[in-house]
């Protein structure tokens, strides 16, 4: 760790490598002090033939992004920013998002004693504030998925109140517990959970029921913004692929796919 700022001393990449060496997810870890985005780095590695399970981690991102290319506030050395290369079959692709959201929620619950929920389709929240954002980008060729990249930004030790643009909507483990948390421990827990969940997916397991049970969106009146239109209705259910099924006031139904909409509760 020589040469890294003192703020980064809580992250032990060597310990993480030892802990994950027998896993699929995390068997190769690529650690950077600064990149444009871990998504871009992981995509480049995947295109170059890096194996499934490769994880790119960065302390700082100069061009971090969320869904629909929204900017992501990412102060260096305080949170976790990482992307994972996966190679699911096409029918398994929707579960990559579910696996990531469940992995974060379960890990944070086990380490911080907190009770995260998931806002459809992939924000992990605590008490209505965003703790983690997840982005999935897949390369598609005909009906094959050469690779998918799952990007995660998880707020661990920063104080969102320092950033007026997100102070009312974001949270962190630190904000919820009042304590700094070992980021190595958090990332190990997330990647181990992700490895277990994704292993189940590869063996034909559906994650929809477990994921849906953590959604704080279901049973609520919502607005779904799709392209230039707004659809209002009650979020009644999700189908097995993770699409949100709304019932409009007139009784008709509308199915929203994760890649097409933003949701406002």
| Domains in the chain: boundaries | 6-213, 221-264
* C-alpha triplet 138, 141, 142: angle, nearest 5°: 125
b/e string for 203-232 if b means 16 or more Cβ within 10 A? eeeebbebbbebbbbbeeebebeeeeeeee
Helix, strand, coil shares, percent, the chain, to 5 = 30, 30, 40
Q: What is the CATH number of domain 6-213?
A: 3.30.930.10
| pLDDT values of the chain reduced to their tens digit, one per residue, 265 residues | 333 444 466 799 999 999 999 999 999 999 999 999 999 999 999 999 999 999 999 999 887 655 545 556 667 889 999 999 999 999 999 999 999 999 999 999 999 889 999 999 889 999 999 999 999 999 988 889 999 999 999 999 999 988 888 899 999 999 999 999 999 999 999 999 999 999 999 999 999 999 999 999 999 999 887 777 788 899 999 999 999 999 999 999 999 886 555 565 5
CB count, 10 Å around CB of 31?
15
Q: Do domains 6-213 and 221-264 have the same CATH topology?
A: no
Q: What is the pTM of this model?
A: 0.91
CA–CA separation, 60 and 119 (whole Å):
26
Helix 183-202 and helix 13-20, axial crossing angle in degrees, nearest 10: 30
Do 34 and 93 touch, CB atoms closer than 8 A? no
Q: Is there a cis peptide before residue 121, judged by omega within 30 degrees of 0?
A: yes
DSSP for residue 205: -
Cα-Cα-Cα-Cα dihedral sign, residues 91, 134, 261, 127: positive
Nearest to 38 by CA among 186, 204, 154, 159: 154
* C-alpha triplet 124, 125, 128: angle, nearest 5°: 150
Return the structure tokens found at 136.
């999935």
Q: What is the CATH number of domain 221-264?
A: 2.30.30.100
């Amino acid at each position: 760790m020589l040469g890294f700022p003192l703020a980064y001393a809580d992250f032990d990449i060597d310990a993480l490598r030892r802990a994950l060496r027998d896993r699929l997810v995390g068997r190769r870890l690529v650690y950077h002090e600064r990149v444009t985005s871990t998504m871009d780095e992981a995509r480049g590695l995947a295109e170059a033939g890096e194996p499934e399970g490769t994880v790119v981690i960065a302390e700082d991102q100069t061009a971090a992004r969320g869904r629909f290319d929204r900017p992501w506030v990412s102060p260096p050395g305080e949170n976790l920013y990482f992307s994972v290369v996966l190679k699911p079959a096409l029918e398994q692709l929707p579960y990559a998002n579910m696996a990531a959201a469940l992995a974060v929620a379960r890990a944070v619950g086990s380490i911080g004693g907190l009770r995260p929920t998931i806002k459809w389709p992939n924000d992990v929240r605590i008490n209505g504030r965003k703790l983690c954002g997840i982005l999935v980008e897949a390369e598609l060729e005909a009906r094959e998925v050469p690779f998918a990249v799952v990007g995660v930004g998880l707020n661990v030790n920063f104080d969102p109140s320092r950033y007026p643009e997100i102070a009312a909507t974001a949270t962190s483990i630190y904000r919820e517990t009042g304590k700094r948390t070992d980021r190595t421990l958090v990332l190990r827990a997330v990647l181990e959970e992700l490895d277990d969940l994704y292993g189940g997916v590869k063996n034909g397991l559906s994650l929809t029921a477990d994921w849906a049970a953590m959604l704080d969106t279901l049973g609520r009146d919502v607005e779904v913004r799709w392209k230039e239109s707004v659809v209002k209705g009650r979020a009644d259910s999700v189908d097995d692929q993770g699409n949100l099924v709304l019932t409009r006031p007139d009784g008709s139904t509308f199915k929203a796919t994760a890649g097409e909409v933003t949701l406002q509760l």
